Amino acid sequence: MVSLDQIQTYMRQQLDEDSEQKSVTISADSLEEALEQASVELSLPVRRIEYEIVERGARGMLGVGKKPFQIVAYPAKKPIAAEAASRSIEIDLSLLAQDEEDHDRHGEVFVRLDPGGVMLKVCPPTGSGSRATEREAMEKLLQRTDGDLDKSRIARVVKNADAEFVKVGDYQHNPAADSSLTVDITDSEMKVYLMAYPPGEGGADPSVAEIVSYLQSNGVVVGVDEEAIQRFADEPVYRESVLVASGEPPRDGADARVVYSFETNPGQVTLKETNGRVDFKELNLVHNVVEGQMLAKKVAAARGEPGQTVTGRLLAASDGKDIELPVGKNVRLSDDGMTALAEVNGQVMITGGKIVVEPIHIIAGDVNLRTGNVLFLGTVIVKGNVDDGFTVKAAGNIEVMGSVGKSTLDAEGDIIVHQGVAGKTAGLIRCGKSVWAKFIENARVEAGELVVVSDGIISSTILSDGRIICKGRRASIVGGQLKAVEEINAKSLGSVAGSETVLEVGYDPKRKERLSQLDGRKQELRNELSDIQLNMGTIENFVKAGRKIPPDKKKYYQELKERKIDLEDDLKKLDKEATEITAYLSDLKVAGRISASGTVYPGVKISIKDAFLEVRNEFKAVTFVADNNTVKVTKYEETDADVSISRRG
């Protein structure tokens, strides 16, 4: 069952497609000519073009009522193979109904008395309809006249059935007895009704030219219905009013409107599927935009199209009403005033009827199933906690007033966690600048500048391109691996229990870790390359021995050869990157130091550049530095890093 939400979603998609679709408006004497011209302008074959008829054309009669066809043409949305299947959707339903009516139609016979003689027209059948016969033609002719008839000519007209009037006989014409016409112009000159009176003895039926001339003489010059007149001339209906002309009513212009490029309904949730299952964490409740991105565009008000009465009197039409694009904070108008553009990165929304971009996204409670994962091109403030399994990513800062569990926080700026991180061995905190937290436990932290913790770091992996500072009454570092470029400073290092605590400074930890990854990857590629060379050598030995190699083995050898080339290229790239990192680490001019204002317990392992020390005795208030490739113990030095949160930004 199709839901209302699905229908609304489909309609929005269609509106988006329509707004992006290239279209041309064509005016031509016939539909065929209009489509040919559209084919040229769109550079597409006619079969790849869809179109809508804006105004049906008319051939006109004697120069009266002639109108061109006007269409809007655009590239077909579906591939050619799908055109036949979708044809029923594209065809005008009124034309479809007409086609069904005309599908099976018998041949028809029309007789009219013209001043020049007796006229006969025979129309061919359509579909499985039967042809008109000479007998039918004779019966109709004899109903209208007893004049001289040419039977051989009647036979030819019936046989040809070319839908044209042909003279088949003579009669004694009496002009005084011709059919007479009256016209009634009603509905404020918007409708014209024709009434004809039957001819007398020897009188002629009214012709198309006579009817048109009569209408002109009565001031009817617009909206003549040539089909209705032709039908009347073929088969006159006497003493009945027939609508033969209609005025063109004025068409007021459409009002200006705003087309938004984002979802304006904040309650509209779009769920994503992952491996066939709906991911309820990906709710996409935030619509991110970047500076300069189009947020909305105005469709200008349309000019009204004046109408005309049947006598040619113009009827005024109103132009559409204009509106202003409702731009608010951090949104600007384009030079032509037709487009709203974002001035900053952030979340676009409608507030107070205006389009605004908020560079700060505030989550009033926790990040959980209600909010889903958060991705924002600005700063994110979480008033509550970040629950296990959820992700918050921001192009600015992330500030969490509560705690963070087994979650992922990723920011280009700073990350502040007021109540600490309990990562449960799977939490990840990564930022381009600094991290502040009350405590960090069983988590991985990667920071571009500082890592500042007040209560302690326990069994965690910390990588900092600057310093790791653990400063407070309970500021201890217990267990885990901590690596910083410049400094590690805490109240105490290690524990009485002798927990293995690895502290490294004096080099870039991220690049060193990358170097380790490169070494591992290079070894994997070398092992694979060795296996390939062994397999290739086996096949080459068969060839040298003169043994015939089956086609599948030849193909396998070629695949091995191509893979060997790829592996060698990959190894060269990895070697180059490893060489660059090694050179960078060698040139790094950072001395590095590790300090404890309180106690350093046995079991702590200290690395400062190339110097290494495993602490076996307890130390108090010391700073470790490197001296001639050895770790030297000196008096405690207070850190000079500015670790106040207010410094950020």
What pLDDT, on a 0 to 100 scale, did the predictor assign at position 7?
A: 42
Residue 314 — very low, low, confident or very high, per pLDDT cuts 50/70/90? very high
- pLDDT of 78 higher than 60: no
Angle (CA) 522-527-529 rounded to 5° is 90
Query: Distance between CA 193 and CA 242 in Å, rounded?
Result: 5
Residue 277 — very low, low, confident or very high, per pLDDT cuts 50/70/90? low
What pLDDT, on a 0 to 100 scale, did the predictor assign at position 167?
A: 92
Residue 513 — very low, low, confident or very high, per pLDDT cuts 50/70/90? confident
Encoded tokens for 180: 């007479």
What pLDDT, on a 0 to 100 scale, did the predictor assign at position 188?
A: 93
The backbone torsions φ and ψ at residue 471, rounded to the nearest 5 degrees and listed phi first, read: -130, 120
Residue 57 — very low, low, confident or very high, per pLDDT cuts 50/70/90? low
Residue 83 — very low, low, confident or very high, per pLDDT cuts 50/70/90? very low
Average pLDDT over the chain, rounded to whole?
Answer: 84
Q: What is the mean pLDDT of residues 592-598?
A: 93
Query: Distance between CA 101 and CA 332 in Å, rounded?
Result: 57
Beta-bridge mates of residue 474: none
Q: Which of 172-186, 257-271, 575-589 has the lowest mean pLDDT?
A: 257-271
Q: Which is more confidently placed, 93 or 201?
A: 201
Q: Which is more confidently placed, 457 or 288?
A: 457
What pLDDT, on a 0 to 100 scale, did the predictor assign at position 180?
A: 93
What pLDDT, on a 0 to 100 scale, did the predictor assign at position 145?
A: 86
What pLDDT, on a 0 to 100 scale, did the predictor assign at position 59?
A: 57
Encoded tokens for 445: 């932290």
Query: Distance between CA 126 and CA 123 in Å, rounded?
Result: 9
Query: Distance between CA 112 and CA 235 in Å, rounded?
Result: 8
Q: Is the dihedral of CA 46, 47, 53, 56 positive or negative?
A: positive
Secondary structure (3-state) at 623: strand
Tell me whether strands 456-464 and 440-447 are parallel, antiparallel or unpaired: parallel
- Is-contact 536 518, C-beta < 8 A? no
What pLDDT, on a 0 to 100 scale, did the predictor assign at position 541?
A: 87
Q: What is the mean pLDDT of residues 384-411?
A: 93
What pLDDT, on a 0 to 100 scale, did the predictor assign at position 28?
A: 80
Q: pTM of the predicted model, to two decimals?
A: 0.51
Q: Across the chain, which distance is largest between two alpha carbons, in Å?
A: 141
- pLDDT of 459 higher than 70: yes
The model's pLDDT over 522-544, given as tens digits with 9 standing for 90+, comes to 999 999 999 999 999 888 888 88
Q: How far is CA 318 from CA 187, 310, 324, in A?
A: 21, 20, 19
Q: Which of 45-59, 110-124, 232-246, 399-413 has the lowest mean pLDDT?
A: 45-59
